[in-house]
Chain A
Amino acid sequence: MTMTTTPPSTTQEDYLETILRLSAEHPAGAQVNELATALHVKPPSVVEMISRLCAMELVTHAPRERVQLTARGLQAAQDVYARHTVLRQFFTDILRVTPAIAERDACKVEHILHPETMARLRDFLEHAAADELERDHTIPLTLLHKGDCGVLQRIAGGHNKTARLAAMGVRIGSEILVLHNNSGAPVMLKVGNARVAIGRGLATALHIAVPDAHG
């Protein structure tokens, strides 16, 4: 029982991530040889590690077959991958490191950071992106006045909002006209030929480029 609930070690996480990456090439999973090449280790070490991952119910592997991720293994691999993405973005966008180095360092650092550090890093990137946009002369929707029009440039924060808004016709590049914007009430927009009301919390996340904003 304790075996299965221990979180995977650094090396194990590397294995899971690599199996996920290799699965993209082949639906049935990764081969031991491919794993050995990708991770720069000898096949017998791979076999040993795979049997340990099998015991943890993170992968399934029959002799001579490909290694496949279990549902839990997939979850763990996706977690690692998500951390990797955030770190890489931090290295390239904020520290201006070259992509190759960012990739290399992200692979190392992704295993050791505390979840809270990761969460702070995510927040930081979100705010940094918002700050950068303010320098690009965009204004949060809530600061526009009735009758103002502009183009939606960016939606800060959670991506599921982006897809939700897109389905209603509000997407990056949409021309919008503010119909009503009174404090305490949702913002009403005209997009295309439709009127859409957006709660104030969500409206602050919409960054609008207004023509001649500084004219």
Chain B
Amino acid sequence: MRVALVGNPNCGKTSLFNNLTGAHQQVGNWPGVTVERKSGAFCHAGHDYEIVDLPGTYSLSSYSLEEDVVERYLTREPPDVLINIVDASNLERHLFLTAQIIELGVPLILVLNMMDEAGRHGVQINTAALGALLGVAVVPIIARRNRGTPALLRALDGLARTPRVGQVHIDYGTPCAAALQRISAAIAPAAAPIAARMRAVFVLLGRPVCVADAALQPLAAAQRALIERAMHDTLENYCAGRWYGFANGCVRSCVTHTHQARFDLTEKLDDYLTHPVLGLLIFSGCMWLVFALVFTISAPCTTLIEWLLAQLGALVTHVIPAGLLRDMVVDGILAGVGGVLMFLPNIVLLFLAIGFLEDSGYMARAAFVMDGIMHRLGLHGKSFIPMLVGFGCTVPAIMATRMLDSKRDRILTALIVPFMSCSARLPVYALFIGAFFAPRWQATVLLSMYLLGILIAIIAANILGRLLYRKDFTPLLMELPPYRLPTGRSVLLLMWMRAWMYLRKAGTLLLCAALVMWFLCTFPRVTGADGEAHAGIAHSYAGMFGRAIAPALRPLGFDWKIGVGLATGLVAKEAVVSTLLIVYGVGDGHEHGTAVLQQRLRADAAFAHGPLTAYTLMVFVLLYVPCLATVAVFLREFKWGWTLFMVGYTTGTAWLVAWLVRHVGLLLGL
């Protein structure tokens, strides 16, 4: 039996979903969009239920991706039972959505959540009267404390045994009702799985649910003209008024207010947390804490993972005799697994923090406080968080864009996140700054890299925002949920789901890519006079690629050795250093490898304009494709088109900016 949960954002849908399914859930995407699809399964009284947690939505219309997803699901493949969850403390607004779905012709259960909060606000609801009025089962619950779930299961069981559809009709008023009647009469009954009257409403609103209904568009357009002429308002507004009338009628006859809550903790906290100055300070503090927490705790975990893999590598070296197989296992598979696991502590901790911020209600305030600044960059208030995370690591930062609500903001933020200088780029900076800059300039040069990244991100956000989705820009309009203490269960579940998704989806892709890169860096094998196979990287496919792209890099003042380094840097930025060690013939295991390499770099003719070429190279490393893991995650989130665009435009930007830096530098006589 297919069950779907529908309701406004922040009404406790996810808590109820967790109560019903426990850990038996799956997270994926709705087909074709980056909206998260959560589904799960449970069994009760001999019936198997498959439950879908629909994205939170205020109404059925196509203003946002989420609304579109919900409308498509409910009208194209409606579930066997629909559970509509509403906030009992703000019933009238939540029943607005109920008014739009009650005529679908799908068995419905109305769940009144947050009964405790409603009680505190002096809202008394006569659930029996409400049930009689709507013709559906009404179940009061407190999802956060898992109260009322058995009653809901009983109601569900009742509907599973005898499906029953309520016979309530929304009163659309004279001109509209006549139009609906005319359209319903023309509708082919079997063409869509929902009630004809509801389909007539969708046809009238210009959003037909099936091909057969689309043929009625001229009739609908004509009827719309008649209604709008009679009502002096748009049809959308007129219908919204009718739905509110319905919600208001329900509240009038079933709700009594006993007293007003005197003290509102949320409003008191908001005085500080959304204060224009204090709020920003608190937000900066929070972000610093999250950042510090995520990257200080994850560092030892990452080291531990590295150590374990090194042990495993040593073990493998003992067991498998030297040769191609051993190389593949150690340098290919183990390195690949390491590349995947390396990001796991970051991701787990980051989503723990984000889950906490979201569940407590603070995230909406953070967006509120940052909106003024981010708005000027053409971004959303919440975009700030992925950007900040990007300084640590681009991979979790791109995953964090999921918390943004509109597709425009999501893609735009993910596209500029790679310009935030992540921690993996630091070794490259360290090598070149150490080699070419006097100690008193080193810190300034390093800082300039970070600032340049931010500057480029701001410019890119402005240009991309204008180019890609100009008309899609929606003004900020969001609800600020009351502050609540997050429940450990929901925060941990969110964290676990995200970590698992990363391992399963991005991880497998990343592992394959790592194996392919190993192959490209190893073959064809050149065995030198001393039988040393390692130096082969310069002659491998990756090396050939590096040589092949060398002409394109010549205007930037780079030779083929840098080209090979940059080519392997596509896997991970740290690899640039280790590759340069090899192509400059220092060898991997050299004790003072870096110092020797720095010496050889200084001596190299390619670095005639030493500091300038080094700076150009660092700019290029800062801006071009971050790493294979980023590409893998990006692909999972945004599909091929956007991924190719991201790879292309970051590399293009890197080349352009590096060229500018070099030529301005040459003009200045550096």
The reply on B544 being an interface residue by CB < 8 A is no
Bound CA–CA A74/B223 (angstroms): 13
Given A164-B477, A197-B368; A68-B240 close (CB under 8 Å): no
Instruction: Mark the stretch among B86-94, B331-339, B610-618, B631-639 that contacts chain A.
Output: B86-94
The answer to the question of B50 belonging to the interface, with a C-beta cut-off of 8 Å to chain A, is no
**Residues of chain A with a CB closer than 8 A to B274's CB:** 180, 185, 188
Known: A27-B186, A169-B96, A185-B276. A202 touches B89 (CB 8 A): no
Of A21, A85, A167, A197, the contact of B228 (CB 8 Å cutoff): A85
A74 touches B218 (CB 8 A): yes
Q: A185 and B369: CB pair below 8 A?
A: yes
How many residue pairs between the two chains, A and B, have CB atoms under 8 Å in the bound complex? 143
Contact B371 A186 (CB under 8 A): yes
In the complex, the answer to whether B240 meets A185 with C-beta atoms within 8 Å is no
Contact B270 A179 (CB under 8 A): yes
A-contact bits for B176-206, CB 8 A (1 contact / 0 none):
0001001100100000000000000000000
Contact of B218 among A68, A184, A194 (CB under 8 A): A68
Chain A nearest CB from B38 CB (Å) reads 22
> Across the interface, which residues of A come within 8 angstroms of B467, CB to CB?
none
Question: In the complex, what's the smallest C-beta–C-beta distance from B273 to chain A, in angstroms?
Answer: 10
Contacts of B375 in A (CB 8 A): 199
Binds A, one of B57-65, B417-425, B547-555, B579-587: B57-65
Interface size on A, residues (CB 8 A): 47
The CA-CA distance from A134 to B96 in the complex, in Å, is: 30
Tell which of B59, B234, B371 touches A167, judged by Cβ atoms closer than 8 Å.
B59
Q: Which of A39-47, A108-116, A125-133, A155-163 contacts B (4 or more CB under 8 A)?
A: A155-163
CB pair A202 B267 closer than 8 Å: no
Report whether A188 and B478 are in contact in the complex, using a CB–CB cutoff of 8 Å: no
Interface string of A140-176 (1 = CB under 8 A from B): 0000000000000000000111111111110100000
A197 and B225 form a contact (CB under 8 A): no
> How far is the CB of B62 from the nearest CB of chain A, in Å?
10
The smallest C-beta distance from B302 to any residue of chain A, in angstroms, reads 38
A168-B475 contact, Cβ under 8 Å, with A27-B219, A192-B93: no
Q: Any chain B CB within 8 A of the CB of A122?
A: no
Query: Quick one: which of B49-98 are within 8 Å of A by CB?
Result: 58-59, 61, 63, 87, 89-90, 92-93, 96-97
Q: Using A77-B221, A163-B61, A184-B372 as known contacts, say yes or no to A197 and B478 having CB atoms under 8 A apart.
A: yes
| B237 A163 Cβ-Cβ under 8 A | yes
How far does the alpha carbon of A165 sit from the alpha carbon of B478 in the complex, in Å? 10
On chain A, the residues within 8 Å of B493 by CB distance are none
Measured between beta carbons, the chain A residues less than 8 angstroms from B480 are 188, 195-197
Q: Which residues of A contact B229 (CB under 8 A)?
A: 85
Known A185-B276, A188-B480, A199-B375; judge A20-B237 contact (CB<8 A): no
Task: Using A164-B63, A180-B274 as known contacts, say yes or no to A24 and B222 having CB atoms under 8 A apart.
Answer: yes
| Shortest Cβ distance from B376 into A: residue | A184
- Which of B225, B234, B267 has the most chain A CB within a 10 Å cutoff? B225
A202: B residues at CB distance < 8 A: 475-477
Residue contact A20 to B221, C-beta cutoff 8 Å: yes
Find the A residue at minimum CB distance from B89.
A193
Q: Is B266 located at the chain interface by the 8 A CB criterion?
A: yes
> Cβ of B223 and Cβ of A24 under 8 Å apart?
yes
Q: Are B217 and A192 in contact (CB under 8 A)?
A: no
Contact B182 A27 (CB under 8 A): yes
The answer to whether A163 touches B371 (Cβ under 8 A) is no
Q: Are A195 and B266 in contact (CB under 8 A)?
A: yes
Complex: how many Å from CA A162 to CA B234?
10
B477 engages A165 (CB within 8 Å): yes
- Asked if A196 meets B221 with Cβ closer than 8 Å, knowing A167-B61, A168-B93, A185-B368, the reply is no
Q: In the complex, A71 Cα to B208 Cα: how many Å?
A: 14
- In the bound complex, residues from chain B placing their C-beta under 8 Å from that of A201 are 475
Report the Cα distance A58→B628, complex, angstroms. Answer: 52
User: In the docked arrangement, what's the CA distance between A63 and B223, Å?
Assistant: 26
Q: Does B226 contact A (CB under 8 A)?
A: yes
Q: Which residues on the B side are within 8 Å of A188 (C-beta)?
A: 270, 274, 368, 480
Min CB distance A135 to B, Å, is 20
**With A168-B477, A202-B476: A162-B237 Cβ-Cβ less than 8 Å:** yes
In the complex, the answer to whether A186 meets B476 with C-beta atoms within 8 Å is yes
Flag if B222 contacts A159 (CB, 8 Å): no
In the assembled complex, how far is the CB of residue B189 from the closest CB belonging to chain A, in whole angstroms?
15
Within 8 Å of chain B (Cβ to Cβ): is A69?
Answer: yes
Residue of B at shortest CB range from A26? B219
Q: Is the CB of A24 within 8 A of B479?
A: no
A81 at the interface (CB under 8 A from B): yes
Chain B positions within 8 Å of A78 at CB level: 221
Residue from B87, B182, B226, B274 with most neighbouring chain A CB atoms (10 Å): B274
Cα distance A161–B475 when bound, in Å? 9
Given contacts A21-B222, A201-B475, whether A167 and B240 have CB atoms under 8 Å apart is yes
- Residue of A160, A171, A194, A198 near B90 (CB, 8 A) is A194
Chain B residues whose CB sits within 8 angstroms of the CB of A167 once the complex forms: 58-59, 61, 63, 96-97, 240
Minimum C-beta distance from A53 to chain B (A)? 14
A182 at the interface (CB under 8 A from B): yes
- Type the 1/0 row for B351-395, where 1 means its CB is closer than 8 Å to any CB of A: 000000000000010001101100100000000000000000000
Which of A20, A68, A167, A186 lies at the interface centre, i.e. has the most chain B CB atoms within 10 A of its CB? A167
**Which of B225, B244, B368 is within 8 Å of A81, CB to CB?**
B225
Asked if A69 and B218 make an inter-chain contact with CB atoms under 8 angstroms apart, the answer reads yes
Is the beta-carbon distance between A185 and B372 smaller than 8 angstroms?
yes
Q: Is B216 part of the contact surface with A, judged by Cβ < 8 Å? A: yes
Tell me the smallest distance from the CB of A199 to a CB of chain B, in Å: 4
Alpha-carbon distance A101/B219, docked complex (angstroms): 27
Q: List 18 A-B contacts (CB under 8 A).
A: A20-B218, A24-B219, A24-B225, A162-B234, A162-B237, A165-B477, A166-B237, A168-B477, A169-B96, A171-B241, A185-B371, A188-B270, A188-B274, A193-B121, A196-B477, A196-B479, A196-B480, A202-B475
Residues in B lying within 8 Å of A, measured CB to CB: 58-59, 61, 63, 87, 89-90, 92-93, 96-97, 121, 179, 182-183, 186, 216-219, 221-223, 225-226, 228-229, 234, 236-237, 240-241, 244, 266-267, 270, 274, 276, 364, 368-369, 371-372, 375, 475-482
Interface positions of A (Cβ within 8 A of B): 20-27, 29, 68-69, 71, 74, 77-78, 81, 85, 159-169, 171, 179-180, 182, 184-186, 188, 191-199, 201-202
Closest 10 pairs between A and B when the two form their complex, measured CB to CB: A24-B222, A199-B476, A167-B59, A169-B93, A167-B58, A199-B475, A27-B219, A195-B480, A202-B475, A193-B90
Q: Identify 12 new A-B residue pairs, CB closer than 8 A, beyond the known A164-B63, A193-B121.
A: A22-B222, A81-B225, A161-B475, A162-B234, A167-B63, A168-B479, A169-B92, A185-B274, A195-B480, A196-B480, A197-B371, A202-B475
